[in-house]
Structure 1
């Protein structure tokens, strides 16, 4: 079929009918599958990294909780204030009025730490990554204050 006749037939059909039931090309399909496969690989890698960051965040939290039982009250208060200020929360966040007025104990600290950790968006890659790095570095820096 001559190209002029082919062009006239194609031009005669409205655009939405022209491409409604016809595949554009094999090259476009291949390009689309290649991009989808790349996106799927990237998403699987992102999920794997997120799970690792969540695991590290949990480990750092458990380390801080274990450390809280061996810290002096002044250092425990300082640790609590550092964590609360990092997450832009008041140092009384998650405490009842009676708990806030009482001396900070490791049990109260754990309850408050749980309330603070609820505020972390576990689906946000940056939030989880920064939180776990901060908590790990804080645990490392307070390791010297632990009372053996």
Structure 2
């Protein structure tokens, strides 16, 4: 997997992210000019940007796809990006909601070209759920091969 992207979810993690030392990820100092422009180096408001690649990039891409409301990127030319998980926020946790959650997750990952169609597994963790949240572990097989990739996610208010 040669894909590299900005690290935008440093506090979200897949199981594999535990092996990554993100504190040593390459950093780029950025100065935000008063006119809104951006330049590297120099003085000013500095923000650290880190790059993420490989399995960590795929994990971040899956989390972002699942947390983005389906169709919200249509004005940018990506009408099929995202999931319907946002429809479950605040709903009571029950068997029907878990079935909907499973359907929404499987539909979203089916549109991710870097994973094999379908999930290796999708298991709910009722002990980790709150009164109005659903917690699950999703395991997918990357198209590039290697070990399956596991994500833990909780969807709720």
Q: Give the alignment's TM-score, normalised by structure 1.
A: 0.24
User: Which of the pair has more CA radius of gyration?
Assistant: 1
Question: RCO (CA 8 Å, sep 6+): is it higher in 1 or 2?
Answer: 1
Task: Write 1 or 2 for the structure with the bigger share of helix.
Answer: 1
Task: Write 1 or 2 for the structure with the bigger share of strand.
Answer: 2
